[in-house]
A and B are shown apart, each in its own frame.
Chain A
Amino acid sequence: MEIRPILSALLRSKTAPVLIALQVAISLAILANALYVVSLREAAAARPSGIDNEANIFYMSTRPLQKHTHSDTLAQQQRDVEVLSALPGVASVSITNQMPMSRSGSTSGWALDRKQTRSSADVSMYYSAGPLIRTLGLKLVDGRDFNAGDIVEIDDELDDVGKKFGNSVIITKPLADFLFPGVSAVGKSMLYGTGDDAAEVKVIGVVERLQSSGASTRPGGEYSAIIPHRTSSPFSRIVVRTEPGQRDRLMADAETALRKASPVPLIVRGRTTENDRIERYRSERALVWMLLSVCALLLLVTGSGIVGMATLRVAQRKKLIGVRRALGARKLDILRYFIVENFLITSGGVVAGLLLAVGLNQLLVSQLEMTKLPLAYLAYGAGALWVLGFLAVYGPAWRAAGISPAIATRSA
């Protein structure tokens, strides 16, 4: 290959190639880091919540205008559940205090040993006296679901929750693996809180997955527990699983039915899990969208830079190309010359870009809590820029190859 003459020609007029290489380097640095962030956010937003078929789930909260007594509230809960269960198209109904990804919920520290001064894990607390596992479609992977004997009634006004906690809890597999690595969690004891007063509770079942209400991307985002408490908490809501395709109709029907069944005016609010998911990941989506736009513009600007420079270089060497053609060079030789020249420039840029990308990543790691850039993204970025370089130079190079040898005989 005629790399040596190409190189020496490059070295004779350095400025334009250096500028192109610099653009390639900057593009690669930004592209690799941006694509990595995009993949992180996409992966976070695609995590399953544990709920089976989220599209069939909605939940409602009802509140009377006046503060009700504990027993009145429980009676209303019971009535609401009955009203909703009776609606045609409803598959399952349960009470809960919070929902995955809804960004509002309760968390408590749990420990394993009374001597501990700090809790072992912060756990998202799902209080439910209903068939929550069935309604949400959670996958029970070990042990059993609650039965009627497990359920404990708690009156927040009178009862000391620590003393009346009950003796059963169902936890998620990630939490089970964290607290009891390598063994089955079923039958093991956990402490609600720390110290001598902490209630001791037995794990009776493990579900595969149930994200916390915050659905954090840290491991704690999947540390959840279901507690069989029947409470009159103002945070109670009723979660409904519908037959496929019936959700929106049933949401409207449910509100009407709940109002009709209540002797007093109610504040009724309904939400869907689908909506929660959109809201939870809205900022992730916004960032992904913004980074992808920057990446597209980046490639466009760099591509146009390469086209511009190649066109200029072809124009400057029109006569030389004619001479080469007159001396016997084939069209293919001319085409190859410009493609190889551009490949050399792009490669210089890619090498510098790899260093720049790693440097930028370190800056982001130290300043913005990013994680280390996997090497694969450097490879993707480099590949993308090589392809871009080839595509951008092909047009000008093709036109150069079309220059007639007769030009050599004309004066400039």
Chain B
Amino acid sequence: MFHYYFLLGVRNLRRNPVLTALMVLTLAIGVAASVSTLTILHVMSGDPIPQKSQRLLVPLLDNGPARGYVAGAKPTDNQMSYRDAINLTLAKTGEHRTPVYGMAAAIEAPRPDLPVEEVNGLAVGNEYFAMFETPFLYGSAWGEAEDRNGAKVAILSRTKSEKIFGKENPVGRRVRMASQEFQIIGVLDNWNPLPRYTHLINGNGGSLSGQDEIFIPFSAAINLQLGPNGNVTCLAETNPGFQGFLDSECTWVQYWIETKSISDRAALKDNLDAYMSEQRKLGRFQRQQPAQLFNVMEWMNYLAVVSNDTRLSVWLSFGFLLLCLVNTVGLLLAKFSVRAPEVGVRRALGATQGDIFRQFLTEAGVIGLAGGLAGLLLALGSLALIAQQSKDLSVVAHMDWPMLALTVLLALAASLLAGLLPTWRACQVTPAIQLKSQ
């Protein structure tokens, strides 16, 4: 019977074509507005590494001075000092671990006719690549030995590699950077996690767009005194020179720890607390705050990757969808009210109120489906428009399959909801009166 009602609904789309078109269009606009804003929120707040996002943890050790500190306040900065980064690495904290800091340099290309190539990248530990499951196009990560000696090796992003070397495999080639010869040992295949969770506090392109183009060992970057390209927070006195900077309590390194299982998190926290109280004996960590740990999703939430503006857009556009829904109720009422004689005849021929209910609700659903399809087109169009607003928006304004399905479902749900009152009205038709008046 559903099949028949469905076909009937499709045929009835042609009845009162203006009214029907208006309904489809209203639903489509409402759904398109809410889906396009929701898509942006969905992409911005997506889990970039679902298979292990609970096991990748960021430690936050508040090393600010006790002077002027209000107990319980958030740490002033969300990064770590060089000293702590080195200590955690040496102590082999967690299962895997890596420090991360942004660096910028210029590559003197091997071909003299090419201009100097500026690169924005990261200085990291060798475990970075396995921890974040970066795909390799050529070559592989460096090992522990390279980290120990500060070997001058580099891994390029695919985009940068193709820009410098073309399509060929550059592994084994050398580049001159910061007055030193670096050997290329690998090229990452396209890898643009959204958001860029491994390097959220950064200086090249924000948390959404932008790319890390080169990766070199943390130790090599320090040996070459490559200053951080990103936020640096110094709350206490620092001695002059690079060594003074390294020894200071300035925070500029981001740190990641991977645990073997989710349940190891508590043990890791105890471990870090023990480290902090050990360091307190040296006069450090005077704010007496415990270590904090954030997994990937908590970290993105803590750093407020999704702005309030994004949420505001979603809320207001769903308010707009509600308006479209109320509008559709009115239009459906008008459309169904002229069908009273038809209902009267069907009821007189033995259809129950339930039958009428199913028939008319199916018809509302058909309108919703049409609205959903039209809404999908409108949403794709509006996302294309939104993408032109900024670089960040161009990265996130992309619809995926779940959002595609949601668009149609949302329109269907809206039309069914809007159809309830008009359908109920249609069920109330008294057959006798309708038949008499004809």
Of chain A, the residue at the smallest CB distance from B203 is: A104
A15 in the interface, Cβ–Cβ < 8 Å? yes
B150 in the interface, Cβ–Cβ < 8 Å? no
Docked-complex contact A308 and B334, CB < 8 angstroms: yes
Contacts of B241 in A (CB 8 A): 156-158
Instruction: Decide: A65 near B179, CB < 8 A? Known: A26-B319, A158-B241, A234-B227.
Output: yes
Assembled-state Cα–Cα distance A293/B225 (Å): 51
Contacts of A368 in B (CB 8 A): 308, 311-312, 315
Q: A-B contact count, CB below 8 Å?
A: 127
B111 in the interface, Cβ–Cβ < 8 Å? no
Of chain A, the residue at the smallest CB distance from B30 is: A301
A95 in the interface, Cβ–Cβ < 8 Å? no
Query: Of B242, B313, B315, B334, which one neighbours A287 at CB under 8 angstroms?
Result: B313
**What 1/0 mask marks residues of chain B from 301 to 318 whose CB sits below 8 Å from any chain A CB?**
000000111011101110
B407 in the interface, Cβ–Cβ < 8 Å? no
Docked-complex contact B327 and A23, CB < 8 angstroms: yes
Stretch of A27-35, A219-227, A375-383 at the chain-chain interface: A27-35
A178 in the interface, Cβ–Cβ < 8 Å? no
A79 in the interface, Cβ–Cβ < 8 Å? no
Docked-complex contact A308 and B68, CB < 8 angstroms: no
Stretch of B3-11, B250-258, B365-373, B386-394 at the chain-chain interface: B386-394
Residues of chain B in range 224-239 having any CB-CB distance to chain A below 8 Å: 225, 227, 237, 239
Chain B nearest CB from A359 CB (Å) reads 11
Of chain A, the residue at the smallest CB distance from B392 is: A283
Assembled-state Cα–Cα distance A293/B385 (Å): 12
Of A26, A37, A162, A360, most B-chain CB atoms within 10 Å: A26
Docked-complex contact A301 and B333, CB < 8 angstroms: no
Contacts of B329 in A (CB 8 A): 19
Chain A nearest CB from B280 CB (Å) reads 20
B432 in the interface, Cβ–Cβ < 8 Å? no
Chain B nearest CB from A141 CB (Å) reads 32
A213 in the interface, Cβ–Cβ < 8 Å? no
Of B68, B326, B329, B386, most A-chain CB atoms within 10 Å: B326
Instruction: Decide: A65 near B108, CB < 8 A? Known: A30-B320, A160-B240, A308-B334.
Output: yes
Docked-complex contact A294 and B333, CB < 8 angstroms: no
Interface of A is mostly: helix
A20 in the interface, Cβ–Cβ < 8 Å? yes
A253 in the interface, Cβ–Cβ < 8 Å? no
A97 in the interface, Cβ–Cβ < 8 Å? no
Assembled-state Cα–Cα distance A19/B334 (Å): 12
Of chain A, the residue at the smallest CB distance from B320 is: A294
Docked-complex contact B389 and A19, CB < 8 angstroms: no
Docked-complex contact B330 and A308, CB < 8 angstroms: yes
Chain B nearest CB from A396 CB (Å) reads 13
Docked-complex contact A297 and B330, CB < 8 angstroms: no
Docked-complex contact A267 and B116, CB < 8 angstroms: yes
Docked-complex contact B320 and A369, CB < 8 angstroms: no
Of chain B, the residue at the smallest CB distance from A33 is: B316
Instruction: Decide: A267 near B320, CB < 8 A? Known: A22-B326, A158-B240, A286-B390.
Output: no
A147 in the interface, Cβ–Cβ < 8 Å? no
A291 in the interface, Cβ–Cβ < 8 Å? yes
Instruction: Decide: A23 near B390, CB < 8 A? Known: A157-B240, A308-B334.
Output: no
Query: Of A29, A117, A283, which one neighbours B307 at CB under 8 angstroms?
Result: A283
Q: How many residues of B contact A (CB 8 A)?
A: 50
Docked-complex contact A290 and B386, CB < 8 angstroms: yes
Of chain A, the residue at the smallest CB distance from B37 is: A290
Of chain A, the residue at the smallest CB distance from B232 is: A106
Chain A nearest CB from B396 CB (Å) reads 11
Contacts of A4 in B (CB 8 A): none
Docked-complex contact A19 and B312, CB < 8 angstroms: no
Contacts of A267 in B (CB 8 A): 106, 116, 118
B171 in the interface, Cβ–Cβ < 8 Å? no
Of chain B, the residue at the smallest CB distance from A66 is: B179
Docked-complex contact B33 and A294, CB < 8 angstroms: yes
Docked-complex contact B330 and A309, CB < 8 angstroms: yes
Docked-complex contact B389 and A282, CB < 8 angstroms: yes
Docked-complex contact B237 and A290, CB < 8 angstroms: no
Chain A nearest CB from B163 CB (Å) reads 16
Contacts of B326 in A (CB 8 A): 19, 22-23, 26, 305
Assembled-state Cα–Cα distance A26/B324 (Å): 10
Query: Of B29, B315, B390, which one neighbours A297 at CB under 8 angstroms?
Result: B29
Instruction: Decide: A297 near B320, CB < 8 A? Known: A308-B22, A368-B308.
Output: yes
Contacts of A27 in B (CB 8 A): 323
Assembled-state Cα–Cα distance A231/B203 (Å): 22
Chain A nearest CB from B66 CB (Å) reads 9
Instruction: Decide: A304 near B240, CB < 8 A? Known: A104-B203, A294-B33, A298-B320.
Output: no
Docked-complex contact A159 and B240, CB < 8 angstroms: yes
Instruction: Decide: A282 near B390, CB < 8 A? Known: A23-B327, A30-B323, A305-B327.
Output: yes
9 shortest interchain CB distances as A-B pairs: A117-B68, A118-B68, A286-B389, A368-B308, A19-B330, A26-B323, A282-B390, A305-B327, A30-B319
A117-B67, A283-B392 given; name 10 further pairs at CB < 8 Å: A19-B327, A30-B323, A65-B106, A67-B179, A156-B241, A159-B240, A194-B68, A286-B389, A301-B320, A301-B324
7 contacts between A and B (CB under 8 A): A26-B326, A30-B316, A194-B67, A302-B323, A304-B26, A305-B330, A309-B330
